[in-house]
Chain A
Amino acid sequence: MTALHDLSVAALAAELRAKRVSAVETAQHFLARAAQHTARLGAPAEGASNGAFVALNEDATLAQARAADARLAAGTAGRLEGVPIAHKDIFVTRDFPTTAGSKMLSNYRSPFDATVVARLASEGMVTLGKLNCDEFAMGSGNENSAWSAVRNPWDASRIPGGSSGGSAAAVAARLTPAATGTDTGGSIRQPASFCGITGIKPTYGRASRYGMIAYASSLDQAGPMARSAEDCALLLSALCGPDPDRDSTSLDVPAEDFSRDLQRPLQGLRVGIPAEFFGEGLAADVRVPIEAALQALVDQGAVLVPLHLPRTELAIPVYYILAPAEASSNLSRFDGVKFGHRTKNPADLIDMYKKTRAEGFGDEVKRRIMIGTYVLSHGYYDAYYLQAQKIRRMIASDFQQAFTQCDVIAGPVAPTVAWKIGEKSDDPVANYLADIFTLPASLAGLPGLSLPCGLGAGGMPVGLQLIGNYLSEARLLNVAHQYQTATDWHTRQPGATA
C-alpha cells in the first residue's frame, strides 16, 4: 500500500471514509514526520530539520482525530473527515499558540479560531500544527521568521519562498497532505512555485480574513496549498464562503464546489501571454519550462493570445507603498499594553512603546512600518499613498482590458528559482523585485494559481502562474488539473530531505 504521506487529500479522504485507516492512525503518522521538522520545539541538528513546523500539540491533534473517527463511525463525517492539515502561523488558533513568526507574539494564545481554520475543521480536517512563515507575512524567503529560516526540501541550502514558506516546505516534504497559506503579494504562489507544489490565492474577499493576523488588509487573502489542483479545489471549496458578521470585506457570494469544472477540456481556451512577464528579467532556466508548459496547454487545445499588461513594473512601487502603509497601522496594536511582548521595567509610557516594539519586531517588519508611516505622513500622503491607489486602479483596469481577449493569463510565478539562504538577506530591494509577477494580480484582487511545470537551475522547481478574472477560481483549477492530467511535474518529490 502507498504510504499515507504519499496519498493525495482526495485519496486519503477516501481511505478514511472506507475505514481502511483511522483518523488517529493518520494523525500519528503525520505527527511523527512533522516532529522531525520543527523550528522552535527543541533544537534539531543542523540540516536535519527543514524548520517548517513552529507549533505542535499532540493532545489536541489526537483529540480532533478521535472526534473525526467518531463521526466517521457515526456516518456524520464531513467531506474531508480525518484528513490532516497544518495552518500557517498567521491564522489564530485556540489549540495552538499563534506567533505570526514574531517574538512579539511568542506566547500568544488566541481565544478563538480563524474562520478559515473553523471552516476546514467543520469539514472534519484534523490540525497537525502551525507552520513557519515570514514575520507577520512580510517576506519572500521565510528568512524573516523570528524562529528560524525554513529550508527548501529540494535543496536545504535554499529558501522555500515566502511568506508561506513553512506551508510550502511541509507539503513538499510530505509532512502534511495540505496546508493553509496567505497571499498578500504572492505569498502562496511564490513558495508553491519554489517548492514544486500547487497553491491558489482566491479572489480578494472569497475567504474570510477573520482570524488572519492582518498584514495589508486590502490585499491579504487565504488559500490552500497542496500537491495538486484537484486537492486545492477540495480545500478551497471548504475554506471559502461569506462571513458577513465577522469580515466586512468578505464577498457576498455563496460557497462553491470548485471541483465541478475539473474535467472540462481545454479545447478553445484562450490563454493570455503578457509580454511584460517574459522580458529580460526572466531567467532562462525558468523561461524554458514555462514555455514548455504553455506548449502543453496548446497541445490540449488552448490558444495563446499575446497581450500587454503595461503597468507590470509599476506594481512593485505601488505594492511597496500600499502594503507597508496598511501594515504600519495594522501593527500599531502590538504595543505591549494588552497582549504579546512587553519590555521589562520601562521608564515611562513612551519608553515602553519604543522598547517593546524595538524588541518584539524584526528588521523587515520595522522597515515596512517605517516606510508605511512615511508614506502616510502629512505632506507625503498625496504623492505616495494616493498616487499608488490611482495606479492600483489602473492595474486592475489593465487586467479587465486583457480579459476581453482571453480566459486566463499565464506566465511565470517568479523570475528565478529559489535562491540560497542568505543570498538576498542584506538586500531588501532585490527581494522586492522578485515579486514582480505576483504583485499585479494581488493589487487587482484577482485569483492566482501556481502549479509545478518543470525544473530549473540546480534541479529546483519552476511554477507556472495562472491568473483569472474575479471569481473564476473554478476555471483556473480546471486548467491546472487538465495540465496535471497530462503531465507529472506535480508528482515529483524532492530528494533533499523527505
Chain B
Amino acid sequence: MSAKLVQGYEVVIGFETHAQLSTQSKIFSRAPTAFGAEPNTQACAVDLALPGTLPVMNKGAVERAIELGLAVGAHVAERSVFARKNYFYPDLPKGYQISQFEIPVVQGGAVEFYLGDEKKTVRLVRAHLEEDAGKSLHEDFIGQSGIDLNRAGTPLLEIVTEPDIRSSEEAVAYAKELHKIVTWIGICDGNMQEGSFRCDANVSVRKPGQPLGTRREIKNLNSFKFMQQAIDFEVRWQIDQIEDGHAIQQATVLFDPDTGETRAMRTKEDAADYRYFPDPDLPPLVIDRDWVERVKSQMSELPRVMAARFVSDYGLPDYDATTLTQSKAMAAYFEAVAQACQQPKLASNWLMGEVSRRLNAGDGSIEACPVSAAQLAALVGRIADGTISNNAGKQVFDALWKGEGEVDALIEAKGLKQMNDSGALDKIVEEVLAANADNVAQYKAGKEKAFNALVGQVMKASKGKANPQQVNEALKAKLAG
C-alpha cells in the first residue's frame, strides 16, 4: 500500500458512522421520529421506559439494514441478536441501550471510491442496528438539566470499518462515499446538521511496518470540513506526543471547531463496563433469504452499478459516469436528457460543464435546476443537428435558465440559427477570398495560419451563423479549385 506518510508516520484510521434510518416510527415503538418537535412530544410510554413497557422491532429499520448490506456487498445475517448495553445516564431512559453486540445484522462488505485517480477500498467490519438516546439540555434550566426524549429510540445503523484508511483526505472521501450510498438507497436523509449522519474516527499513527499504534476516537464529526481538520490536528498531536517521548493513551476525544483542536473527554481508565447481555425482551432477529430477495427486488440501482451501465450503454468515459452518478437526481436527469436527445456524450458534457457551473453558483443540487431535462435535450438536439453552434447553445441555455421561453423559439428570436444554406455561404466565401488576396497567396505558399484567418473572416461576415465545419469545407473547395 502506498501510504502517504506524515513526518515519517503512517496514519491509520477506522470509522464508525451512525446513520439515522429514515423510518416514520422508532425502532422499538410506534412514536414518530420527525426532527425538531417540542421536547418530549414524540416519546411514547415505551420510549419513556415506563414500567411494564416492552420493545417491538420495527421491520422498516431491519429492511433498511438489509438494503445497506446489499449495497456494500455484505453478508446479511440469517440470525442476529439484540443485546443490552447497560449504563446510567439521564437521557437513556431504560438505563440500557438496545444494540447489537456479538452478532450484528450486517457482516463484512466494502466501500469503494476514488481518491483523485486512485481507486480505494475500505473494508467494513459490520453494521448493526441500535436505538438512539435522548438529549440532555443544559441551557435554559438554572442549576438543572432538561431531558428531551424525542430522539430516544430513533433507529440507528452503526457502520464500522476496518482500520483501512490512511489519510484525512481518504477519510473524508470514504465518509462522502458512504453518505452517498445511504442517501442514494434512501435509508438515511444524510442531514449532518440534524445529526442524521454522525461519524466517529479512530485515529492512530505508526512508523511504517510497525504494529498498530494506540488509537484515540474522535467523536461526533458532523461535517466533512471539521472531519478533515479534526483528523489533521489529531495526527499532528499524536506525532508530537510520540516525538516528545510520550505514549498515546487510549481515549475518546471531541473536536472543537472554534479552536480547531481535539480534547480528551475520557480515557480508557474511566471506560464503563457495559455488561452486555442478550436482550431477553427481543428474540433473535431472523432474516430469511426470501426477505432479502424481496428487499433486493425493491431496491433501486446502486451508483457503481449504474456508472458501469453508463459506460457500457451510453459509451461514456469512466470519469463522466462516476461524476454523473454522484447523486440519484443527477443520474436521473442525465438519463432523461440522453434518452430524449440520443446524444449521451454531448448531454454529459453539458451536464458536467455549463449545467454544473450554473448549479454550483447556487445551492448546487440538480433538483433546483430551472432548465428541465426535456429542455436541455431539445437544446443538445439542436446543437447536434447543426441548427446552432455550441457557443450559441450557451446563449440559449442562459435564456432557458431565466425562463425566457422554449429552445426553438429562443433560437428564432435571437437569430442564432447557423447558416446551412450553401448558396449563401458560397457567396460569402467568394467575397472573403476576393477581399483577402494576400491571405490566399500566403495559404497557397503553405502558411496554415492564413487559412484560419480566412475562416475567421467568413464567420465574421456571417455574423457567427455559419457552421464552422461547412466554412472549412467550402473554403478548402474554393482554394483547391
B-binding residues in A (CB < 8 A): 91-92, 98, 100, 105, 108, 110-112, 114, 209-214, 216-218, 244-249, 325-326, 328-329, 331-333, 335, 337-339, 349, 353, 373, 376-378, 381, 385
Contact = CB atoms under 8 A, between A and B. Distances in A.
A244 B56 contact: yes
Contacts of A98: 51
Interface centre among A217, A328, A329, A339 (most CB of B within 10 A): A329
Interface size class of B (residues with CB under 8 A): 20 to 34
Given A332-B86, A333-B49, 17 more contacts: A209-B54, A212-B52, A248-B57, A248-B283, A249-B280, A249-B281, A329-B95, A332-B96, A333-B51, A333-B94, A338-B50, A376-B275, A377-B275, A378-B273, A378-B275, A381-B275, A385-B277
A248 B86 contact: no
A51 B282 CA distance: 36
A376 B274 CA distance: 9
B56 A246 contact: yes
Interface string B84-95: 101010100111
Contact of B95 (A212, A218, A326, A333): A333
A209 B54 CA distance: 8
Interface SS of chain B: loop
Interface centre among B57, B86, B276 (most CB of A within 10 A): B86
A435 to B, nearest CB: 19
A353 B48 contact: no
A377 B94 CA distance: 19
B146 to A, nearest CB: 11
A218 B280 contact: yes
A92 B282 CA distance: 21
Given A248-B283, A332-B94, A337-B147, A92 B52 contact: yes
19 contacts: A108-B51, A112-B52, A210-B54, A211-B52, A214-B51, A245-B56, A248-B56, A248-B57, A248-B282, A249-B283, A328-B275, A329-B86, A329-B95, A329-B277, A333-B51, A335-B88, A335-B95, A381-B275, A385-B277
A268 B273 CA distance: 55
B55 interface: yes
Interface string B210-254: 000000000000000000000000000000000000000000000
Contacts of B52: 91-92, 110, 112, 114, 210-214
Interface SS of chain A: loop
Given A218-B280, A376-B277, A337 B90 contact: yes
A204 B102 CA distance: 25
B51 A376 contact: no
Contacts of B94: 332-333
Contacts of B48: 338-339
A428 B172 CA distance: 58
Interface in B72-91: 84, 86, 88, 90
B90 A349 contact: yes
B277 A381 contact: yes
B51 A332 contact: no
A333 B92 CA distance: 9
A42 B51 CA distance: 26
Nearest to A374: B275
Contacts of B84: 329
B53 interface: yes
Nearest to B40: A338
A444 to B, nearest CB: 15
A248 B90 CA distance: 26
Contacts of A332: 86, 88, 94-96
Nearest to A336: B90
Nearest to A205: B283
A176 B240 CA distance: 77
Interface string B129-160: 00000000000000000010000000000000
B45 interface: yes
Nearest to B46: A246
Contact of A339 (B50, B86, B276): B50
Contact of A217 (B49, B57, B86, B281): B281
A216 B280 CA distance: 8
A92 to B, nearest CB: 4
A253 to B, nearest CB: 15
Interface centre among B49, B90, B277 (most CB of A within 10 A): B277
Contacts of B86: 328-329, 332, 376
A380 to B, nearest CB: 10
Contacts of A378: 273, 275
Contacts of A339: 48, 50-51
Contacts of A338: 48-50, 93, 147
Contacts of B276: 376
